[in-house]
Structure 1
Amino acid sequence: MARIIITGGSGFIGTNLVEYFCSKNHEVINFDIKTPKNEKYVKNWVQGDILNKEQLFSCFSDFDPDYVVHLAARTDLNEKKSIKGYAANTDGVQNMIEIINEFPKIKRTIYASSRMVCRIDYIPKDFDDYCPPNLYGESKMIGEKKVKASAKHDYVMVRPTSIWGPYFEIPYRTFFDTVRKKMFFLPKNHYPKKSFGFVLNTVFQLEKILFEPRENLESTYYLTDYPPLDLKEWSDMVSREFGIKSTTEIPMVVLRMVSKLGDLLQKAGWQNPPLTTFRLNNLITHMVYDTKSLEKVCGELPYTLQEGVKITASWLKEN
């Protein structure tokens, strides 16, 4: 049994991770500014802000953890003006590093970054090669660089790809809800491969990385299911869970016009139009990451794609 602090444990991945580690009888603290999504785990919650170093230090001092999983972050893509809007991803990471450096008892820390440190169509030559597409991605890049420069403790960096499942929010909850309402579509004759991850496989991977002997680990991993899924196959699976035969396909020329209209609506102030050029490009672009090192550590994943879809659809029907 280990003592584990999870920052951001009230978020999507964090909610699932708190539940998972508690089910394994670990002692878990969720340090988060927000109330837990699952009321069952309010008893594990310490309210605090990672930008408040005093609050953070107090939590570490009181709990004296063996392990840390740092998930707390601002994750939306809405900030357009200044990187300062993502201070949680830069200054918050710096606070974490400085505090964990003061606790030599901590055996390992996982820092969650993001696949968006590189744009979707950019293939980096290594984990020090960055090409962020927006301020969010830039903030995560800065966070990674701070860890590499200042962390004097055992750590592993993870880059979650596109993770989906119970407790999710925009954009993948929107995807499931849109399928359910028979409003989802794919560009005709475009069936890209995607490195996506079912969240219960993600928490399994985080557990493996957290407790694996140091000599078996690399410094950075993309978190994703393997092998990559076929977007059409996945959307058809989701459709069938809601009694729909298959995914609607629309000619690309129509979608390009609709996406340009979405761009205009976004500029006019609508934060989340159904389709924009950015989203359309993401939809049609292959997004596949090398998972050999991840597979070596984690082995076979506990949930198949079909099982993940069934669990998620069932959760949505109940919530």
Structure 2
Amino acid sequence: MRALITGSRGFVGAALMRRLAENGHQVTGFSRQAGDDALQGDLLDPASIRAALATFRPDVVYNLAAETDLKGPPRNGYAANTTGVANLLEAVAEAPSVQRVIWMSSQLVNRPGHTPVSDTDFDPEGGYGASKAEGERRVRAANSGGKTWVIVRSTTIWGPGMSEHYLGILRLIRRGLYFHVGQKPRLKSYSYIDTLTAQLEALGTASDAAIAGKVMYLADSPPIDLRAWSDAFAERFGRRLHTLPEPMARLLALAGDIVSGAGLRSPLTSRRLGNMMTDYVYDTALIDSIAGPPTVSMTEGVRLTADWLIAQDLRTGETP
């Protein structure tokens, strides 16, 4: 491939850049911060998109750029996920070199627990989910600028380099502040970073017939059991996790709601508890048929991620 990756400074974008380069593809990024491996630009600046496409002449574009609310309200109100998508659609339509676009969306186009009846059935979670659903609609309406396209919905992404937002649960485990709720297994379609980048690479090189016009979830298979996943991290951190009955956990979550309402941080709120207790499992048969099954086991992913977090905390002086 000759691939251009928007959002190349992000967790997934940077990991995909490394993977593609290591596997012999020609790759450059597109980011607000220029560098030796990235062209400077912004999805809200149409001229910069056209210039990047004309300069690098990619045959594949990965649109991984997005505005999220993981660090607070987005500075442009999720415009990169809607107007930015529209700008990129117009630019790729005019770019003769581009043959394929992989559009990164999110599982949050449907709230946890809602099972869509079709690829265009949306029940989004929050403003971010709504903006990603709108981005998908725009891709469909424009037929991806006349280029081969696939929409991929990401799930919770974990692994070395993961964002501070998602590291929260691992830090709670390391400090002995995390607990299981009830005895039931909680199945989650999480996505280990190396598995995700392997799947994204495969989508760039697969036949048109395998991907064109499709929507697929990218995640590990089989889904993880949250209890087993958490226990594996606890063991690596030298901890042992305890189990709380559901009624007690709900009372603690209500107390956490009060604390959060007062502007203070709480390790448990009703929303977080609801997410913990809700299974979300997605069908990965389609991506597995294209990319093959994951090559990194949950146990190995836990080991690599836990060791990375410990090393990072040693460097920064973070106490467990």
- TM-score computed with the length of structure 1 as normaliser: 0.91
Residue 253 of structure 1 deviates from its aligned partner by 2.2
1:122-144 residue CA offsets vs partner (Å, 9 max, x unmatched)? 00011110101211100000000
What corresponds to 1:97 in structure 2? 89
**Residue 307 of structure 2 corresponds to residue 314 of structure 1:** yes
The one-letter amino acid of 2:289's match is K
Separation of aligned partners in 1, 2:24 and 2:150: 23
CA contact (8 A) 2:82 2:135 kept: yes
SS at match of 1:85: coil
1:248-268 residue CA offsets vs partner (Å, 9 max, x unmatched)? 222222322232233344444
Residue 24 of structure 1 deviates from its aligned partner by 1.4
Separation of aligned partners in 2, 1:265 and 1:87: 32
Any gaps of 5 or more consecutive residues in structure 2?
313-320
SS at match of 2:78: helix
What corresponds to 1:10 in structure 2? 9
What corresponds to 2:111 in structure 1? 119
CA contact (8 A) 2:199 2:218 kept: yes
What corresponds to 1:275 in structure 2? 268
- Please give the residue correspondences for 1:58-137 in structure 2 after superposition, counting only pairs within 5 Å: 58-76=51-69, 85-137=77-129
Residue 156 of structure 1 deviates from its aligned partner by 0.6
What corresponds to 2:191 in structure 1? 197
Counterpart of 2:231 (choices 220, 229, 236) is 236
Percent of matched pairs sharing the same residue: 35
What corresponds to 1:226 in structure 2? 221
What corresponds to 2:317 in structure 1? none
- Please give the residue correspondences for 1:103-182 in structure 2 after superposition, counting only pairs within 5 Å: 103-150=95-142, 151=144, 152-182=146-176
Separation of aligned partners in 1, 2:165 and 2:184: 20
Separation of aligned partners in 1, 2:45 and 2:14: 22
CA contact (8 A) 1:79 1:135 kept: no
Separation of aligned partners in 1, 2:8 and 2:75: 24
1:3-50 residue CA offsets vs partner (Å, 9 max, x unmatched)? 211111111111211111111122221112257xxxxxx420223221
Q: How many residues align?
A: 309
Please say which of residues 176-185 and 139-148 is displaced more in the overlay: 176-185
Distance change in 2, residues 1:239/1:60 (3 Å): same
Separation of aligned partners in 2, 1:27 and 1:87: 29
Q: Alpha carbon RMSD of aligned pairs, Å?
A: 2.0
Please say which of residues 282-291 and 19-28 is displaced more in the overlay: 19-28
Separation of aligned partners in 1, 2:125 and 2:91: 30
Counterpart of 1:262 (choices 246, 256, 267) is 256
Separation of aligned partners in 2, 1:46 and 1:83: 22
Separation of aligned partners in 2, 1:68 and 1:147: 14
SS at match of 1:243: coil
**Residue 246 of structure 2 corresponds to residue 247 of structure 1:** no
Counterpart of 1:49 (choices 22, 42, 45) is 42
Residue 78 of structure 1 deviates from its aligned partner by 6.9
What corresponds to 1:39 in structure 2? none
Distance change in 2, residues 1:55/1:229 (3 Å): same
The one-letter amino acid of 1:47's match is Q
The one-letter amino acid of 2:247's match is V
Residue 191 of structure 1 deviates from its aligned partner by 2.1
Separation of aligned partners in 2, 1:273 and 1:50: 36
SS at match of 2:103: strand
